[in-house]
Amino acid sequence: MVTGAGRGLGAQGALALAQAGAELVLLSRTRSELEQVAEQIAGAKGRARVIACDVTNAAEVNSALAGIDRLDILLNNAGMNIPEPFVDVSEAHLDDMIALNVRAAFLVAQAAVKKMLQHPDRRNLGASIIHVTSQMGRVGAERRTVYCMTKHAIEGLTKAMAVELAPENIRVNAIAPTFLETPMTASFFADPEFRNWVISRIPLGRIGRMDEVTGAIVFLASPAASLITGTSLAIDGGWTAR
């Protein structure tokens, strides 16, 4: 299951998982976007179901999970960012970002784990949860106080879930990408000054490619990562190494 699957990293992550053999359940609020992703998956000989769902609504999340017979992988991807100076952050923006980036991520993970635990052979089969955080879950940055706060929270959630769920053979990890070319960042990169600033902070000297992140998603979901839990994989071109 992939949340925020209609565009950006969620869509590309879903495609990569489908190409690796997974059967997908695609969640987001916009059915038309999900259907386009499902068509791409079908074109690649994969299988996908579409469920229009607002992940900030616990009832909708539970309803979506009720229609799934078995769940082995969760890519917990849905999120948002509203860059603005700390002193200008409104309560509305604060509440919206916490609601999606933290509360919804927690509730989706909780509902997913309940579904995973229903499988009678779960401890032998194992399962994988992958939270999408950010390099901003490890460092700070101007105009991103709320975003940094929420992503730091999910980094902590990843560790706590991993410890608690390890006896059930449910692995919990995170990926922490740098800036990527996505619909969410397109407006930012339209500003040459911002683009140059980003590139100057990345030792590899370039913005990340989507496939460089989707490869990590497939790895963490697969048996190749069977001894990896409670970690966050930085895919940041060296940003957080400074």
| pLDDT level of residue 188 (50, 70, 90 thresholds) | confident
- Residue 151 a catalytic site member: yes
Distance, in Å, from the CA atom of 225 to the CA atom of 233, rounded to the nearest integer, reads: 12
| Whole-number pLDDT of residue 7 | 93
Of 45, 114, 115, 147, which is the active-site residue? 147
Overall pTM > 0.85: yes
Distance, in Å, from the CA atom of 200 to the CA atom of 206, rounded to the nearest integer, reads: 8
The residue extents of the domains of the chain are: 2-235
pLDDT tens per residue across span 25-55 = 999 999 999 999 999 999 999 999 999 999 9
Q: Which position has the token pair 């690649």? A: 44
The answer, yes or no, to whether residue 183 has pLDDT greater than 80, is: no
| Whole-number pLDDT of residue 187 | 86
Q: Which CATH superfamily is domain 2-235 in?
A: NAD(P)-binding Rossmann-like Domain (3.40.50.720)
Task: Give the orientation angle of helix 91-98 with respect to helix 145-165, to 10 degrees.
Answer: 20
Distance, in Å, from the CA atom of 141 to the CA atom of 136, rounded to the nearest integer, reads: 7
| Whole-number pLDDT of residue 196 | 95
Phi-psi category of residue 21: left, alpha or beta, with phi > 0 → left and psi -120 to 50 → alpha: left
3-state secondary structure of 14: helix
The answer, yes or no, to whether residue 182 has pLDDT greater than 90, is: no
**Does residue 202 contact residue 237 with C-beta atoms inside 8 Å?**
yes
Distance, in Å, from the CA atom of 165 to the CA atom of 167, rounded to the nearest integer, reads: 6
**Average pLDDT, whole number, for the chain?**
96
Distance, in Å, from the CA atom of 97 to the CA atom of 92, rounded to the nearest integer, reads: 9
pLDDT tens per residue across span 98-147 = 999 999 999 999 999 999 999 999 899 999 999 999 999 999 999 999 99
**DSSP string of 117-174?**
HTSTTHHHH-EEEEEE--GGGTS--TT-HHHHHHHHHHHHHHHHHHHHHGGGTEEEEE
The answer, yes or no, to whether residue 240 has pLDDT greater than 90, is: yes
Reported as half-sphere exposure (CB side, CA atoms, 13 A), residue 17 has a value of: 28
pLDDT tens per residue across span 145-162 = 999 999 999 999 999 999
3-state secondary structure of 234: strand
pLDDT tens per residue across span 206-226 = 999 999 999 999 999 999 999
Contacts of 3 (CB under 8 A, 6+ apart): 10, 27, 28, 55, 74, 75, 76, 77, 78, 108
| Amino acid residing at 67 | G
The answer, yes or no, to whether residue 184 has pLDDT greater than 80, is: no
H-helix or E-strand containing 50? Answer: strand 48-52
- Residue 147 a catalytic site member: yes
| Whole-number pLDDT of residue 112 | 98
Mean pLDDT computed over 85-109:
98
Of 45, 114, 115, 151, which is the active-site residue? 151
